[in-house]
Structure 1
């Protein structure tokens, strides 16, 4: 399923191969509504089976990078849903219905923000050109929803490198879908070309694309050739790399610098994927001890994150305080400092720091998320729920937020709020019957004529209609 023409690089995948892209500029056989349903089903499968990163700092950074590119992408629907897969392997994918997925390893293995962004631009290009619909028209396939479950299985197997999706893609149906996903070289070249246009128009360097392709090819040669046949797609050949390199050189040369946030988040993910907290501390301390070390602030931040993972919030706080002296407005430092203070049990100081930061950055996602965490730890359910409600209004497709909101509403003894939050969580997880039950329970606890009862009733009607449509 539109998994990056930039191929994953684990040992379970082949040298010079890549996962396909689903999206198509055809549209005769596949309506936008059908594409949206395919995307919904795939996201349900990902939420149920694929480990995801819910770290608000990582999510916020990746969200910001995608939306730096989106205005330059020829997309009809720019309301994207982001899935961050918790895997150190290089991979990204896009799915009809405006779903974009990123492995944590994509940031980890890229050597620059331009390289990282080039993969996202390539995936946005596949979506914008609707390659899936075009391929299905070529195959004269007229039942896109019937294969959504199998496509979800292909995505899960690809992004998790496990047996999770195998059951869904066994047998002749999977073989026929694999053939459908065998996109032409022209589609991949088109995605490369459109992706580089997106990068250039967004003020980024198109040269990052051939550089990232070369990283993938080198790592695949080291990893071996063991990709399952059903995941085989077009090869990422040296000629394709050369073609993108030659095309990139046609763009004006510009000195594009990586953002500081890219290197901070890369350090944060490096700590996340380290074998242990101690290994992470030793690694970043070694970086600092090298006389030729660059990006010192990002390395010091990585050391702070490593101390925190190693169960030493005091050392993390000391490093972060020094970083804040030189850059007091850096949100990543403040939020990570609050994380260390919460771990230390110093909730008042964490709250004070975060509230001051929120005054300077109203509505900021990581700050608000961490404030909700402070209030939950303090037992202030009503305050925590207030922060989380703000976040769910802005990001209604994040199931983690609804789960946290249900917990906070329970702490605040708002039973109707608990039922409503659980209903939204269950709906995102594809459990429409459970969502329906939660809303009915909320409805029963509200008096007739109450404005909230009307809101609950309207949502219950929507869920019921979805359930009827699914069964039909």
Structure 2
């Protein structure tokens, strides 16, 4: 094992290995790692061939972030939930607009927000403006502004270039241990046993402490985050309440504190400093945006309801939500509707389609006539389509499914969740391959960085026998996941398909040129990395 770790360490620049570990630790590296199975990702870790400097350049930071994100996609860390992901992205865009207004960031600074299905209270920033949000952070927060306060804090780390500095400053003394920790973190995502034996508890804790943000960096991110939160219209006091809750959790759990505290040291001085700023800085103490959006309450209920997809977990969720309907704390129309929405999703997972439809109808009735009714419609329609897709068996039901899919895609052309499901439903109904492919092509133009959209387009093109288009779509899906060689292979197949025309061949040749250049860069980086020992 040690020799294998030394070999792996030689493949990556040592200081960047340490940085990658910080990302992996933020992804809830378990406090105790035991076992013998090796990660399925051992032979497929990203090549991070970038020279180590005191601070990564913006271009190097972006390339590194892209590589790490592609690896997280590949091992299944990124949670595919377009409804919640897009809500977080929309609300985070308010924060980014405020950050630009305040001069902390510019239009050319890219950000991308993604979900990690994990019950721990955590969020983390990666190189290149990638910000991950654990589902546990959303379900544990009473207020939407509390979630956004954590995101604002992470944006502060990015805009102040704390990520680039930390990634550039790691020293090379423990490269072998770091390589083992990276593997363990990735292994823990795919198999509970795969991370066993790689690190002791003491080594894990030591690395966490080494890679935690400094107190000065935390205070600076707090300051910037508070300003962004207030400027964006969210209640800035939510940062104080959220950090107080995290601090309380840390006292309760002792050494097993929430993951966020292990990479973001939270002291009483920091909390006091936040509260002092709220009291003394103009504009920070005002009440702003204190109400949760309907989408947040509904999607939080859905995430909580489906957190444990096992039979017992779904049964417990259903019991909890039924009791919640009688709880005075959840008596408002919005929270009652959210509870029914969660119950509908649990019932759907249990294949109780009648109950799912009934709770969906009750969720809709609770907000009928209110100003939030229009906001709920995409969520309700997506759920209705999911129920019909899961329950359709006869020819008549599939015809109804196809008609509903057409209606929903037309009604909500900007809802990624609805459009994706409409394509899937039309393919399942097997009615009109040409129309399904046309819808998928529009979706691929609108959401070109979504691998699932390209996968649906490939299915649609295959259903109508268009091999060139099928392989070209698969190539884009693989390219997004960082599988450049596989993408080139798919385009080569597309080029030799019998139905390729001159215009399509020209586009394929152009794309092949860019992908081959990218593959050469990857190979050069691997060679350069192997020479730095």
TM-score range, shorter chain: 0.7 to 0.9
Could you list the runs of 5+ residues in structure 2 that have no partner in the other structure? 1-18, 33-52, 525-533
Counterparts of 1:33 and 1:169 in 2: how far apart (Å)? Answer: 33
Unaligned runs of 5+ in 1: 14-26, 142-146
Please name the residue that 2:487 is paired with.
435
Deviations 1:32-66 (A, max 9, x none): 22111111111122012243321232222222222
Contact 1:38 1:148 in 2 (8 A): no
1:276 to 2:308 alignment: no
- The alpha carbon displacement at 1:321 in A equals 2.6
Alignment of 1:247-262 (within 5 A): 247-249=277-279, 250=281, 251-256=284-289, 257-262=291-296
Distance 1:113 1:221 in 2: 24
Give the SS at the match of 1:397: coil
Question: How many residues end up aligned between the 2 structures?
Answer: 453
Report if aligned partners of 1:7, 1:90 keep a CA contact under 8 Å in 2.
no
How far did 1:436 drift? 1.0
- Three-state SS of the structure 2 residue aligned to 1:396 is coil
1:219-368 pair list within 5 angstroms: 219-226=249-256, 233=263, 235-249=265-279, 250=281, 251-256=284-289, 257-274=291-308, 275-294=312-331, 295-325=335-365, 326=368, 329=374, 330-345=377-392, 346-368=397-419
CA contact (8 A) 2:184 2:194 kept: no
Structure 2: distance between partners of 1:304 and 1:182: 41
The 5 Å alignment of 1:93-242 reads 93-135=124-166, 156=186, 181-226=211-256, 233=263, 235-242=265-272
Give the 3-state SS of the residue equivalent to 1:315 in structure 2.
helix
CA contact (8 A) 1:45 1:152 kept: no
User: 2: distance between equivalents of 1:118 and 1:161?
Assistant: 32
- Specify whether residues 255 and 37 from structure 1 end up closer, same or farther in structure 2 by C-alpha distance, changes over 3 A only: closer
Among residues 66, 89, 95, which one is paired with 2:92 in the alignment?
Answer: 66
Which secondary structure state, in structure 1, belongs to the residue aligned with residue 330 of structure 2?
A: coil
Which whole-Å CA distance do the structure 2 matches of 1:304 and 1:423 have between them? 37
Query: Contact 1:338/1:351 (CA < 8 Å) preserved in 2?
Result: no
Equivalent of 2:464 in 401, 407, 412: 412
Per the TM alignment, residue 385 of structure 1 is displaced from its structure 2 partner at its CA by 3.0
Cα distance change on mapping 1:386 and 1:166 into 2, 3 Å: farther
* 1:307 shift after superposition: 1.4
Aligned partners of 1:389, 1:152: CA distance in 2, in Å? 37
Q: Comparing 316-325 with 455-464, which one deviates more in the overlay?
A: 316-325
Query: Which of 387, 392, 411 does residue 444 from structure 2 map onto?
Result: 392
Label 1:401 to 1:446 Cα distance change in 2 as closer, same or farther (>3 A). same
Cα separation, 2, equivalents of 1:207 and 1:383: 50
Change (3 A) 1:196 1:411: same
- Hey, what's the Cα distance between the residues in 1 that align with 2:302 and 2:82? 12
- TM-score normalized with structure 2 length: 0.75
- CA deviation after TM superposition for structure 1 residue 378, in Å: 0.8
Tell me how far apart the structure 1 counterparts of residues 182 and 63 of structure 2 sit (CA, whole Å): 12
The residue number in structure 1 matching 2:9 is none
CA distance in 1, matches of 2:60, 2:67: 11
Residue 99 of structure 2 corresponds to residue 80 of structure 1: no
**How far has the Cα of 1:226 moved from its partner?**
4.9
1:126-148, CA deviations, whole angstroms, 9 ceiling, x for partnerless residues?
1111113334566699xxxxx99
Tell me the SS of whatever aligns to 2:475: helix
Task: Check if 1:382 corresponds to 2:434.
Answer: yes
Tell me: CA distance 1:29–1:163, structure 2 relative to 1, closer, same or farther (3 Å).
farther
- Superposed displacement of residue 122, structure 1: 0.9
Counterpart of 2:520 in structure 1 is: 468
| Cα distance in structure 1, aligned partners of 2:504 and 2:354 | 46
In the alignment, the residues of structure 2 paired with residue 460 and residue 158 of structure 1 have an alpha-carbon distance, to the nearest angstrom, of 35
- 1:47 has 2:73 as partner: yes
Q: Say if 1:151 and 1:183 are closer, same or farther in 2 by CA, change over 3 A.
A: farther
User: Contact (CA 8 Å) 1:52, 1:86: kept in 2 or not?
Assistant: yes
**Pairwise CA RMSD:** 3.8
What is the DSSP-based 3-state SS (H/G/I as helix, E as strand, rest coil) of the residue aligned with 2:304?
helix
Please give the alpha-carbon distance, in whole angstroms, between the structure 2 residues aligned to 1:174 and 1:278: 36
Paired residue secondary structure (1:225): helix
Residue pair 1:11, 1:225 contacting (<8 A) in 2 also = no
Matched residue SS, 1:289: coil
Q: CA deviation at 1:428?
A: 2.4
Q: 1:57 aligns with which of 58, 66, 83?
A: 83
Task: Identify if the C-alpha distance between structure 1 residues 68 and 434 changes in structure 2 by more than 3 Å, giving closer, same or farther.
Answer: same
Moved more, 200-209 or 250-259: 250-259
Aligned-partner Cα distance in 2 for 1:381–1:152: 44
Partner of 1:32: 58
Determine if contact 2:114/2:131 at 8 Å carries over to the other structure: yes
Q: TM-score, normalised by structure 1?
A: 0.83
Larger radius of gyration: 2
Whether contact under 8 Å (2:119, 2:136) holds in the other structure is yes
